[in-house]
Structure 1
Amino acid sequence: MTASVAEPGTRRICQDTGLALVAGPVSSFRIARESYGALAPRPREASDDPANWSRYDTLGRTIYSSADRVTAFMELLASYRTDINAERRALQPAADAMGMSLDAYWADIVAEWDESGNMKASWLPRVFREGRALYTLEYPEGWWIDASATETIAAIHDLFSGPWPTRDGDSDKPLTLADLTGDDRILTTVIASAIREHVQLDDGTLPLGIQFLSKHGRPADGSGLCWAYWMRQVDSGLDEPATVIKTEPIVDNDPAYIAAQKFCKIKSR
């Protein structure tokens, strides 16, 4: 169906569902492997484990992008920070044996690895940059569901009754913003799937996807907004209306890339 034309950023409440909506089109940034491109995510299958999916994935294809470059890099680099922190914590017994604090022991190891040119510790390999590109996307006109709105949280309760599946089992607890933006992929993907499969808006259109705030916050020069876009047309065998309007290499002196590395306390060669 054809979306109602509205000024981008226009907000309203859907009269049929109660969901809070934000109008597109949206121009945003997405980092992806060049071998796949910006518009070719791996489709999710019914046999997959949703615990390994991204936050608002559903059956079919979903892509994610961010309103500003720093947030785009943060969304990608944060997982490397998690890996590094896990490696760091694993050294606690060795630090105890040496009679040192973990911070001091880790600092010594990082200094030694850096001096020898080792790619471990807080370093990202060069292939990280060389294998990816920063894409500017433009989505079609339509409405996004605002995951941060009070109205959306209330509407989800009204639209989908019964306990929600979570990684800890079924739950009757009221949903909160923390649930919608949290890391429980069993819960968030079920909510996304219910909206994608069962919601039609009051103008007869289907929501493009979900707008949400990055869990890494809002950088000084950006909004921290992100979008999960459901590729309904491609999943139905049609042409994709979203377009790539710019492709840029990831260079080591990109201010946004440098800022994200500082926030994540990692470096790149």
Structure 2
Amino acid sequence: MSTATRSRICPRTGLYLVPARGQDGWRVAQERYTRSGGILAVGVNEHVGPLPADVPDRRGRFDTIGRTVYFADRARTAFAEVLQDFRGARVALQADADAIGMSVNEYIANIRDQATANGREQPWAVSVEWQMNRCLHRVAMPARGWWVQIDHKATLNRLGLDLAEPLRQAGVPLLTLSGTTGENRAVTTLLSQHVRSQVLFDGSLPLGIQFTSKTGYGTCWAWWDRRADDGLMPGMNDPKTIEDLNVDGEAFRAVTTDWKLDVLPGKPRY
């Protein structure tokens, strides 16, 4: 546990710091990665800020150069983060139904009938394959160090000053909360790389970024795996798996119910 356990503005960097408390974290991850590399297995990111024109943008919101692993404060938060594409497909049904003059319920029933007849799934359904390919992990989060709260006014004010010109070039003349919650990875990765490079008041380096899930379900952390980036084995303060759970549980069903997502046996998709 940090010797100074209250949140504070760092007198050295101006960033708002939240102490690590060793609480449980949650991650939904594909087993093809975690089976061989453990809970911290992720790809290595090579770009921050704007990408070269020929490079597709698959970065997480607060990726830096190296490895960034994302965790949530609750299982429901973790599922809300990873099920957003399904939610988008479900929400889009209203516009599609309006375009052909049907109610959304009629439109959904029509697609379900066609899917059943053709042995396929509706696009907004979460298949058994999706579930079987993933696992819900309960994780012990770091007990020492500091998270930088990216959506605190002190952090926004400091980053807006430190990165005024790069942000202006990225189309953000004034940094606000929308800059940290939006989909512009050229901006969010620029912010996170700057935060990662800071040395805090006690001489330590930030663990990563704490942020509010834009789904409204809770808090998330973007943790930077500095030891793996340096070619070292995991340390005592790194996140560690407590238990692995099947995806189809209370938290998964709560989010799919909230978002009106069907959970179906796996068949070929459209």
Q: How does 1:200-211 map to 2 (within 5 A)?
A: 200-211=199-210
Q: How does 1:19-34 map to 2 (within 5 A)?
A: 19-24=15-20, 25-34=22-31
Aligned partner of 2:163 in structure 1 is: 160
**Residue 132 in structure 1 maps to residue 134 in structure 2:** yes
Paired residues, what number?
Answer: 249
Aligned partner of 1:171 in structure 2 is: 171
Unaligned regions of 5+ residues in structure 2, if any? 265-270
How many angstroms apart in 1 are the aligned matches of 2:206 and 2:114? 49
1:110 maps to amino acid: I
1:157 maps to amino acid: G
**Residue 76 in structure 1 maps to residue 82 in structure 2:** yes
Pairwise CA RMSD of aligned residues?
A: 2.4
Aligned partner of 2:33 in structure 1 is: 36
Q: TM-score, normalised by structure 2?
A: 0.83
Match of 1:257 among 252, 264, 268: 252
How many angstroms apart in 2 are the aligned matches of 1:201 and 1:158? 18
Label 1:52 to 1:102 Cα distance change in 2 as closer, same or farther (>3 A).
Answer: farther
Label 1:258 to 1:266 Cα distance change in 2 as closer, same or farther (>3 A).
Answer: same
**Paired residue secondary structure (1:191):** helix
2:191 maps to amino acid: I
Aligned partner of 1:16 in structure 2 is: 12
Label 1:217 to 1:172 Cα distance change in 2 as closer, same or farther (>3 A).
Answer: closer
CA offset digits 1:76-128 (Å, max 9, x no partner): 111222244457756765x2xxxx33625522323414654632243111011
Label 1:102 to 1:52 Cα distance change in 2 as closer, same or farther (>3 A).
Answer: farther
**Paired residue secondary structure (2:245):** strand
| Alpha carbons 2:72, 2:78 under 8 Å: kept | yes
1:70 maps to amino acid: R
How many angstroms apart in 2 are the aligned matches of 1:161 and 1:173? 7
Q: TM-score, normalised by structure 1?
A: 0.83
Q: How does 1:1-269 map to 2 (within 5 A)?
A: 4-7=2-5, 10-24=6-20, 25-37=22-34, 38-46=39-47, 49=55, 51-86=57-92, 89=95, 95=100, 100-101=101-102, 103-113=104-114, 115-116=116-117, 118-140=120-142, 141-164=144-167, 170-171=170-171, 173-197=173-197, 199-218=198-217, 224-241=218-235, 242=238, 243-251=240-248, 254-269=249-264
| Alpha carbons 2:89, 2:123 under 8 Å: kept | no
Ranges of 4+ aligned residues in structure 1 off by more than 6 Å? none
